[in-house]
């Protein structure tokens, strides 16, 4: 039986090879997975032209996934460094990579990323439009916007952020309800500017059916972007954000009618006490579609440490239903991230995702922690390093500060509670001042 997309296959009762891969990874019965894909509650972003892909699922009942943003800008255009970041991100077990390149001809870099990456690949085509056509924003036509989308789809991109929800209605709500930070979404601000400069409707909203035809043709998952995400705690959960989310819910249903998979992108800067409500609102208004959150960043005053503010918000968001975390690095709000910034962002996001998976009862999540606890009880340092989320850093710390008693560490030495409890429980003497018998 033929099918056009993973959703189409799922509706027809077909088990694809990607579904089998994801079901095995997630310890989920494959027909349960298929049913949730048919309902739109799980997506498997898998472009037909991304032949190096190792499929992952995003959505209800699955492990929380993380995304890594990278790509060149006008000020930082070292393609080889960005490719090194791609390889490092894959080695550090990121499930997704978004190429956010926003300068020059991005095609070469995008194709190389798709070629080498088993992780799913995302892009924001509007970033590419200005450079692709070498035209100012105002002069780009709706057909040209759609052609860039099709170009990215043809190149093998698995999911695309499209800011279709910032239509004239949403813009009117924004104008009536002033914000401290206006728009902080790069793609959303570009589309809003295009609409204002041309006095026209958002082309991705007006010609949404044509966009869906492209997505269905290549099986591109539509990641409906949040142009109105708050960039300040003062703007969180405001009328603009909620109005756009309502529109995204309507667009979700239209996409599902065409068998196009959908994710919803969510809030940026949100105080702790509003995160759970934001997750509930998204799931309600967008009919259970997977939620891809940017942060949330829980305080505005920690530049240089926003990987931490984001991990705090991400853990709470995912524990309350978010499915996909976009990592944030220490360089957020400050510069294009370095390789080391990227590494710190990945680790922080993976910690947040795993902590949430424990809270959600994801199969196999807490067992990893139990294995670590057993290795700690056994004072099996090698096993601890092997189980560590980041093996490199704990090995480095251990090597830099070796204790007199190799079973302990330099914090407690022979007063180590684990060492001494093991001895007592085994009926042995506890020697702290003298060597063991």
Residue stretches of the annotated binding site for [4Fe-4S] cluster = 409, 412, 416
Nearest to 15 by CA among 44, 41, 40: 44
Residue stretches of the annotated binding site for Zn(2+) = 269, 333
Q: Are 32 and 20 in contact (CB under 8 A)?
A: no
Residue stretches of the annotated binding site = 69, 98, 127, 163, 185-187, 226-229, 265, 269, 292, 333, 409, 412, 416
Question: How many other CB atoms are there within 10 angstroms of residue 343's CB atom?
Answer: 21
Please tell me the distance from the alpha carbon of residue 60 to that of residue 157, in angstroms, as a whole number: 23
Helices (H), 327-377: 339-360, 365-377
Nearest to 371 by CA among 356, 386, 351: 386
Please tell me the distance from the alpha carbon of residue 369 to that of residue 334, in angstroms, as a whole number: 35
Please name every residue paired with 297 in a beta bridge, in sequence order, or none if there are none.
269
- What are the CA-CA distances from residue 38 to residues 9, 88, 115, 201 (Å)? 8, 34, 29, 31
Residues 6+ apart with CB under 8 A from 166: 188, 191, 192, 195, 202, 205, 227, 228, 244
Please tell me the distance from the alpha carbon of residue 437 to that of residue 370, in angstroms, as a whole number: 32
The DSSP symbol for 71 reads: -
End-to-end alpha-carbon separation of the chain, Å? Answer: 73
- What are the CA-CA distances from residue 267 to residues 23, 90, 132, 139, 255 (Å)? 29, 26, 29, 30, 22
Token match 């999911």: residue?
159
Residue stretches of the annotated binding site for substrate = 69, 98, 127, 163, 185-187, 226-229, 265, 292
Please tell me the distance from the alpha carbon of residue 24 to that of residue 284, in angstroms, as a whole number: 29
Nearest to 252 by CA among 228, 222, 213: 222
Please tell me the distance from the alpha carbon of residue 191 to that of residue 145, in angstroms, as a whole number: 11
Phi, psi of 375 (to 5 degrees): -65, -35
């Amino acid at each position: 039986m033929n099918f056009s997309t993973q959703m189409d296959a799922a509706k027809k009762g077909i088990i694809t090879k990607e579904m089998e891969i994801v079901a095995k990874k997630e310890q989920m019965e494959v027909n349960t997975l298929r049913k949730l894909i048919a309902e739109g509650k799980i997506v498997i972003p898998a472009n037909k032209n991304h032949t190096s892909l190792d499929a992952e699922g995003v959505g209800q009942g699955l492990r929380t996934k993380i995304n890594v943003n990278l790509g060149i800008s006008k000020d930082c255009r070292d393609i080889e460094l960005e490719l090194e970041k791609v390889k490092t991100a894959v080695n550090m077990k990121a499930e997704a990579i978004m190429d956010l390149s926003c300068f020059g001809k991005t095609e070469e870099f995008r194709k190389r990323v798709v070629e080498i990456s088993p992780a799913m690949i995302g892009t924001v085509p509007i970033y590419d439009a200005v450079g692709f056509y070498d035209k100012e924003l105002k002069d780009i036509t709706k057909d040209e916007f759609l052609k860039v989308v099709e170009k990215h789809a043809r190149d093998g991109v698995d999911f695309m952020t499209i800011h279709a929800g910032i239509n004239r209605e949403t813009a009117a709500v924004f104008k009536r309800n002033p914000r401290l930070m206006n728009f902080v979404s790069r793609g959303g601000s570009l589309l809003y500017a295009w609409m204002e400069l041309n006095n026209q409707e958002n082309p991705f909203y007006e010609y949404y059916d044509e966009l869906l035809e492209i997505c269905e043709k290549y099986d591109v998952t539509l990641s409906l972007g949040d142009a109105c995400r708050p960039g300040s705690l003062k703007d969180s959960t405001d009328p603009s954000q909620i109005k756009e989310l309502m529109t995204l819910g309507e667009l979700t249903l239209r996409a599902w009618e065409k068998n196009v998979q959908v994710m919803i992108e969510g809030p940026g800067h949100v105080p702790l006490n509003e995160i759970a409500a934001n997750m509930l609102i998204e799931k309600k208004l967008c009919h259970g579609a997977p939620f891809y959150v940017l942060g949330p960043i829980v305080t505005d005053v920690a530049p240089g440490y926003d990987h931490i503010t984001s991990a705090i918000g991400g853990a709470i968001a995912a524990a309350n239903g978010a499915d996909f975390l976009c990592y944030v690095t220490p360089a957020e709000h400050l510069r294009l991230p370095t390789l080391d910034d990227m590494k710190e962002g990945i680790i922080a996001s993976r910690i947040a995702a795993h902590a949430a998976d424990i809270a959600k009862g994801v199969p196999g999540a807490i067992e990893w922690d139990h294995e670590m606890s057993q290795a700690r009880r056994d004072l099996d340092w090698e096993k601890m390093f092997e189980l560590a989320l980041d093996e490199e850093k704990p090995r480095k710390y251990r090597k830099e500060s070796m204790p007199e008693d190799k079973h302990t560490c330099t914090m407690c030495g022979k007063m180590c509670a684990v060492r001494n409890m093991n001895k007592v429980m085994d009926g042995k003497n506890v020697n702290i001042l003298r060597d063991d018998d």
